[in-house]
């Protein structure tokens, strides 16, 4: 089973996304922002979902921008997606609340068998 890393400050959000990803047949690994890069480097997931992404908010509260930069900078072939509440036009971004089919399309279609 392919691993997916879910990064969020809120445990409920991490657990909810993990359930969604499990239905897509991923092994979900959930972490907070403080341990995200270390887990990414040791667990070698095929995809990462970084929540709490907001370029215009307090970087001490919303760690998504920093975490996304760290993981994206270390990624080779992994899919790295950002989730946030602001509207943003980017292929690797989903605005919350999001449609599960959009998430599935970004993950499943882009990951080779």
Q: Helix (H) and strand (E) counts for the chain? A: 4, 5
Range(s) of the domain holding residue 72: 2-108
pLDDT tens-digit readout, 17-35: 999 999 999 999 999 999 9
C-alpha to C-alpha distances, 48 to 58, 69, 82, nearest whole angstrom: 22, 12, 8
pLDDT tens-digit readout, 28-59: 999 999 999 999 999 999 999 999 887 666 55
113 in any annotated domain: no
At a CB cut-off of 8 Å and minimum separation 6, what does 74 contact? 37, 40, 41
Query: What percent of the chain has pLDDT above 70?
Result: 88
Does the pTM surpass 0.95? The reply is: no
Residue 66 in contact with residue 34, Cβ under 8 Å? no
Number of domains in the chain: 1
36 in any annotated domain: yes
Average pLDDT over the chain reads 89
């Amino acid at each position: 089973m392919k691993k997916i890393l879910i990064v969020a400050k809120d445990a409920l959000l991490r657990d909810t996304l993990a359930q969604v990803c499990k239905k897509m047949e991923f092994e979900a690994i959930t972490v907070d922002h403080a341990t995200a890069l270390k887990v990414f480097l040791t667990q070698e997931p095929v995809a990462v979902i970084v929540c709490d992404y907001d370029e215009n908010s307090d970087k001490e509260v919303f760690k998504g921008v920093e975490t996304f930069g760290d993981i994206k900078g270390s990624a080779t072939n992994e899919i790295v997606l950002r989730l946030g509440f602001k509207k943003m036009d980017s292929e690797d971004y989903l605005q919350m609340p999001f449609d599960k089919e959009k998430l599935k399309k970004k993950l499943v279609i882009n990951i080779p068998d």
